[in-house]
């Protein structure tokens, strides 16, 4: 096996079994997983961005990783390489409706027969551990450069870079985000639906302990407010707010945002104080469904394959599920089939269909239900929350799916 290398794109001609396009956590995880399974890998990403001036604060962008994600990252020796002191377990989830008599539903790890429901992990913590693992990975070539063309045939795929270099592989994996260049090169159509909302994120110290509970409020006209536990007495906000409100929340700053949150969280968390250095960021919320996860010699994973509303917190977990199922489909292929064989990729697509579709339908349906500003609908949805809270068997089934159990 060849020693891993990081190379700039200067008229190289690299041949590996798999070429992964992307530089996010899902792309890096896929590179490690394929390498661990014995495949040679090229990881193609853009030139590295300048390092942030300070890494002392808490990331505004965090992920609620489920058991699927943890199992995969543990198998790659990444989970234990993260800073455990910056990971918070979620032991309970409390969801409230809206109106004068809001419904509610509570989930907890004990009722789900699990040690914990999820783990809140910062983007920087996850990517730092992945980068460290890649530096020691065998048979992984990390290449920086800009791809300009993708050519596929029955025998393989070639990616041309802007400096004349070429990367050849039996399989190209598009892990390059919602605006995927790989997907565009394959002319894969997609359904695109903007929600007219932005995800506003920020971190706060809280006066009272959160006891590992994630809190969520469905507010109809003001969107969905979620406060996720961080280590210590800290919480991370994800507010799915209508565009106009989101712009206001960002422009007002962290302290004004903390004052607004008192309406929801003061009884549970006490006074909220912005974590220093203050960060309030926002990103657009969309539903994106490509018409296919595969093309000739190409497979899509992560946001290149699907984007869902963050109200369930499982967008990143879907990506880890993609990695798991794609690597498994390749590993279980017949000896005479190439790793980019159409039948191998079709098996991957079938393996992902049910979970991805279920998450798309669920998140989109919940968004529609809780943004309907009609009193009869409000009454019905609050009644539904209260009823579901009294049905432990159904609650356990829902949590089993959310936990990522197979």
Residues 49, 59: contact at Cβ < 8 Å?
no
Rounded distance between C-alpha atoms, residue 121 and residue 201, angstroms: 14
Query: Does residue 90 register a pLDDT over 90?
Result: yes
Residue-wise DSSP of 299-366: EE-GGGT-B--GGGS-HHHHHHHHHHHHHHHHHTS-TTS-TT-HHHHHHHHHHHHHHHHHHHHHHHHH
Task: Provide the token pair at 367.
Answer: 């968004």
Whether pTM exceeds 0.85: yes
Give the pLDDT mean for 356-382: 69
**278-310 confidence digits (pLDDT tens):** 899 999 999 999 999 999 999 999 999 999 988
pLDDT at 1: 39
In terms of average pLDDT, the best of 113-127, 157-171, 301-315 is 157-171
Tell me the backbone φ, ψ of residue 76, rounded to 5 degrees. Answer: -95, 5
Task: Record the tokens describing residue 147, joined without a space.
Answer: 């791809």
Region 4-28: mean pLDDT is 81
Q: Are 366 and 311 in contact (CB under 8 A)?
A: yes
Residue that wins the pLDDT comparison between 57 and 101: 57
Query: What percentage of the chain reaches a pLDDT higher than 70?
Result: 83
| Confidence at 3, pLDDT banded by 50, 70, 90 | very low
pLDDT in tens, 38-59: 999 999 998 766 655 455 689 9
Is the pLDDT at 30 greater than 90? The verdict is yes
The per-residue pLDDT for 378 is 56
Please state the rounded mean pLDDT for residues 388-395: 54
Question: Tens digits of per-residue pLDDT, 177-210?
Answer: 999 999 999 989 999 999 999 999 999 999 999 9
Per-residue model confidence (pLDDT) at position 219: 84
Q: Which domains does the chain have, with CATH numbers?
A: 5-50+126-191+286-366 (3.50.50.60), 62-121+194-285+369-403 (3.30.9.10)
Q: Exposure of 324 by Cβ count < 10 A (0-12 exposed, 13-18 middle, 19+ buried)?
A: buried
């Amino acid at each position: 096996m060849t020693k891993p290398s990081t190379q700039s794109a200067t008229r190289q001609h690299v041949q590996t079994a798999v070429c992964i396009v992307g530089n996010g956590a899902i792309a890096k995880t896929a590179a490690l997983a394929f390498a661990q399974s014995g495949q040679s890998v090229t990881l193609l990403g853009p030139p590295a961005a300048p390092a942030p001036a300070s890494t002392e604060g808490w990331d505004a962008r965090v992920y609620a990783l489920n058991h699927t994600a943890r199992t995969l990252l543990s198998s790659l020796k990444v989970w234990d390489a993260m800073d455990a002191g910056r990971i918070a377990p979620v032991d309970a989830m409390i969801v409230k409706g809206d109106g004068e008599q809001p419904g509610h539903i509570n989930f907890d790890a004990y009722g789900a027969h699990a040690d914990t429901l999820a783990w809140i992990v910062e983007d920087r913590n996850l990517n730092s551990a992945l980068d460290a693992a890649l530096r020691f990975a065998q048979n992984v070539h990390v290449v920086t450069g800009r791809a300009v063309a993708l050519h596929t045939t029955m025998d393989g795929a070639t990616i041309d870079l802007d400096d004349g270099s070429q990367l050849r592989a039996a399989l190209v994996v598009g892990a390059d985000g919602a605006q995927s260049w790989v997907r565009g090169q394959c002319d894969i159509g997609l359904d695109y639906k903007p929600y007219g909302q932005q995800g506003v994120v920020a971190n706060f110290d809280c006066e009272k302990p959160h006891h590992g509970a994630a809190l969520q409020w469905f507010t109809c006209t003001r969107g969905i407010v979620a406060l996720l536990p961080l280590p210590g007495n800290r919480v991370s906000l994800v507010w799915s707010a209508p565009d106009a409100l989101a712009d206001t929340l960002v422009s007002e700053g962290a302290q004004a945002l903390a004052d607004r949150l008192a309406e929801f969280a003061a009884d549970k968390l006490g006074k909220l104080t912005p974590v220093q250095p203050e960060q309030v960021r926002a990103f657009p919320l969309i539903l994106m469904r490509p018409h296919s996860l595969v093309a000739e010699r190409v497979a899509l994973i992560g946001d290149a394959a699907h984007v869902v509303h963050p109200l369930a917190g499982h967008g990143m977990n879907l990506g880890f599920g993609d990695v798991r199922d794609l690597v498994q489909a390749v590993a279980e292929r017949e000896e005479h089939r190439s790793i980019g064989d159409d039948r191998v990729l079709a098996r991957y697509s079938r393996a992902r269909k049910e979970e991805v579709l279920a998450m798309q339908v669920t998140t989109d349906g919940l968004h529609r239900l809780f943004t309907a500003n009609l009193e009869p609908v409000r009454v019905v949805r609050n009644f539904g929350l209260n009823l579901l809270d009294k049905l432990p068997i159904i609650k356990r089934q829902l949590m089993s799916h959310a936990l990522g159990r197979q």
